[in-house]
Amino acid sequence: SNDYRVVVFGAGGVGKSSLVLRFVKGTFRESYIPTIEDTYRQVISSNKTICTLQITDTTGSHQFPAMQRLSISKGHAFILVYSVSSRQSLEELKPIWQTIKEIKGTELPNIPVMLAGNKCDESPEIREVSASEGQAQAQTWGISFMETSAKTNHNVTQLFQELLNMEKNR
């Protein structure tokens, strides 16, 4: 298919919308505006083929279970976001991962998934999850890991690029 759907999951306030807006529009805002599910479309060309990258920015834990399952069924790739300053936000990804595993079943090994520890710019004093803990969690799940900052634009392009590379290489 020429449609490539990426779904971004994570607790409220971890920076899902900020990562998507940074990637799609190159902007960042300090204020927190809770999201209603939003999809961004970008035409990209990779390996001579043109495809539409659709990025769905979900509402986090406020998402209705039925909607979450639908986003997972339709998704080709996933970004699971937590904030390095909230251990709780990493915990909240666990049920989402279980649901992805359950819905994708035997397809799972072919599905690109990234774990993103966002807000890595925040001061060490308020950090609750170390990079090695994030890495270890990703390893347990068999997915890739990156720390990111939508604020400073650290690893944002890389995060999305890595997903597209995984898709290409499979």
Q: What is the contact surface with ligand GDP in residues (CB under 6 A)?
A: 10, 12-18, 29-33, 35, 60, 118-119, 121-122, 149-151
Token duo for residue 122: 């925040």
Out of ligand GDP, Mg ion, none, which partner does residue 10 contact, by CB within 5 to 8 A per kind? ligand GDP
Taking the complex as a whole, how short is the minimal distance between the CB of residue 12 and ligand GDP, in angstroms?
Answer: 5
Nearer to ligand GDP, 82 or 141 (CB): 82
What one-character DSSP code corresponds to residue 15? S
Which residue in 163, 111, 31 sits closest to 21, CA to CA?
Answer: 31
Q: What is the rounded CA–CA span in Å between residue 70 and residue 103?
A: 10
Taking the complex as a whole, how short is the minimal distance between the CB of residue 56 and Mg ion, in angstroms?
Answer: 11
Taking the complex as a whole, how short is the minimal distance between the CB of residue 55 and Mg ion, in angstroms?
Answer: 12
Nearer to Mg ion, 5 or 16 (CB): 16
Nearer to ligand GDP, 5 or 151 (CB): 151
